[in-house]
Amino acid sequence: MGSAGYLSKITRRLRDRKLIMSVARKIHRVWAELRGSFNRLKIMNFCGTHEFTITYYGLRSLMPEGVELVAGPGCPVCVTPAREIDEAIEISKEATVLTYGDMYKVPGTRLSLSQARSMGCKVRVVYSFLDAIRIARREKNTNFVFFAVGFETTAPTVASHVASNSVPENMAILMSYRITVPIMRYILSSGRRDIRGIIAPGHVSTITGAEAWAFVAEEFGVPIVVAGFEPLDVMIAVYEILKQIRSGKPRLVNEYNRVVTPQGNIVAKRYIEEAFVEEDGAWRGIGMVPKSVWRLREKYEHLDARKIYNPSVGESIDVRPGCKCAEINLGLAKPTDCPYFGKACTPEHPLGPCMVSSEGACSIWYRYGGYDIIRVNL
């Protein structure tokens, strides 16, 4: 059997209805034992791809009444401050800004990059930083700025080129990376008692390593499971969290051990350490989070688009009045709690960032439903 056939076999098993329903019944049995102690139990699925899996495959319909799966701040473009989008727009009046498709339509204070382009600003969509490098090398007489948005998953690609001094001379970088571990600590340190378990992001954990999340159980007493992105992965993660709550022994479990190691990608982390420095930074609608963003180290400041172009932007507005994106990213609200959802705010005309990205909770709920939950009879 070739590698494609082997992967197909694994995928079929991870989506096998009988296996998923078997785990669902186990979840219901454990919840029956816990129900006397909890009226409602909230589990946060941190990553936007987990939210997609839960919604697309209808996993909420398999949960017992009282077990609630809520989205977390795991959509990078959803938490990028409006000010940084405004900066990218301002820079695009002088240089060509290269950005991911997910960021293209995210609203800044007044405009998105897409709208700015329609008004004459220079903006192009790229698939990756390598794509951006190829464009810059091909068009040597054009100045480019790469809008570096994302989490630990995408940061190493940029960091490796920065550290190896292989960024083209006609390219600068507008740093907008966010770090996921500090935001989780921030949420739990804020006094939240409603989050009883966390499904940690699988993609990010391939870089950070599973051990990066051990503090959640050790310091805050909250069960945490690093999980893959297939339906069976998520169901096993929920089951494991409920078992830990029942036993009163919270710990870190790496369900996604077919991909994630305890230490993560050592080479990628070395590149990040060499190229970037951690700083306090803003998360859209949430506020300042300690040591949660990366900026270029001083010796690489010649690549810093902010220092080269000095974009001047006025007061920024992260969240429009009435928009619930910030609360949704913190698991305090559901997309349907927002008065704009599906009405004034749609993927074609987004008012808030959560309605744009394929990892945004509002966009996922709008496209795939999930809010009218019909409980499955097990």
Q: Which pLDDT belongs to residue 4? A: 66
3-state helix, strand, coil in the chain (%, to 5): 45, 20, 35
Does the CA dihedral 362-232-150-331 come out positive or negative? positive
Q: Which pLDDT belongs to residue 259? A: 96
Whether residue 123 contacts residue 115, with contact meaning beta carbons closer than 8 Å, is answered with: no
Instruction: Average the pLDDT over each of 101-105, 158-162, 211-215, 369-373 and give the range with the smallest value.
Output: 369-373
Judge whether residue 220 has pLDDT over 70: yes
Q: Which pLDDT belongs to residue 205? A: 98
287-296 and 276-283 strand pairing:
antiparallel
In a domain, 328, yes or no: yes
- 3-class DSSP state of 54: helix
End-to-end CA distance of the chain: 36
Count of other CB atoms within 10 angstroms of residue 192: 16
* 326 shares a domain with 305: no
148: CATH: 3.40.50.11740
Query: Average pLDDT of 343-350?
Result: 95
Q: Which residues of 16-45 are buried (b: 16+ CB within 10 A; e: fewer)?
A: eeeebeebbebbbebbeebeeeeeebbbbb
Judge whether residue 136 has pLDDT over 80: yes
For 309-353, list the strands marked E by DSSP: none
12 DSSP 8-state letter: H
In angstroms, rounded to a whole number, what is the distance separating the alpha carbons of residues 66 and 64? 6
* 291 shares a domain with 362: no
Task: Select from 158, 168, 229, 222 the least CA-distant residue to 192.
Answer: 222
* Count of structural domains within the chain: 2
Tell me phi and psi for residue 295, to 5 degrees: -125, 160
β-partners of residue 253 are 225
* 343 shares a domain with 284: no
Q: Which pLDDT belongs to residue 3? A: 66
Helices (H) and strands (E) in the chain, counts: 16, 11
Provide the mean pLDDT of the chain: 95
Judge whether residue 202 has pLDDT over 80: yes
Task: Select from 66, 107, 115, 56 the least CA-distant residue to 85.
Answer: 107
Query: Average pLDDT of 347-355?
Result: 95
* 159 shares a domain with 107: yes
Task: Select from 167, 129, 165, 134 the least CA-distant residue to 147.
Answer: 129
Q: Comparing 373 with 23, which gets the higher pLDDT?
A: 23
Per-residue pLDDT tens digits for 318-330: 999 999 999 999 9
Q: At what angle do helices 129-138 and 155-163 cross, to 10 degrees?
A: 50
In angstroms, rounded to a whole number, what is the distance separating the alpha carbons of residues 112 and 117? 9
Sorted by sequence, the CB contacts under 8 Å of residue 19 that are 6+ apart come out as: 13, 232
Q: Which pLDDT belongs to residue 218? A: 98
Q: Which pLDDT belongs to residue 236? A: 98
Q: Which pLDDT belongs to residue 221? A: 97
- 3-class DSSP state of 83: helix
Kind plus residue range of the DSSP H or E element containing 29: helix 17-34
Which residue range is the domain that position 334 belongs to?
Answer: 322-366
Judge whether residue 151 has pLDDT over 70: yes
62 DSSP 8-state letter: G
Q: At what angle do helices 361-368 and 48-56 cross, to 10 degrees?
A: 20
* 353 shares a domain with 285: no
* 132 shares a domain with 109: yes
In a domain, 69, yes or no: no
In a domain, 72, yes or no: no
R_g over Cα of the chain:
21
Per-residue pLDDT tens digits for 5-25: 766 888 888 999 999 999 999
In a domain, 113, yes or no: yes
In a domain, 315, yes or no: no
Q: Which pLDDT belongs to residue 8? A: 80
In a domain, 198, yes or no: no
In a domain, 38, yes or no: no
In angstroms, rounded to a whole number, what is the distance separating the alpha carbons of residues 283 and 314? 18
In a domain, 265, yes or no: no
Q: Which pLDDT belongs to residue 377? A: 65
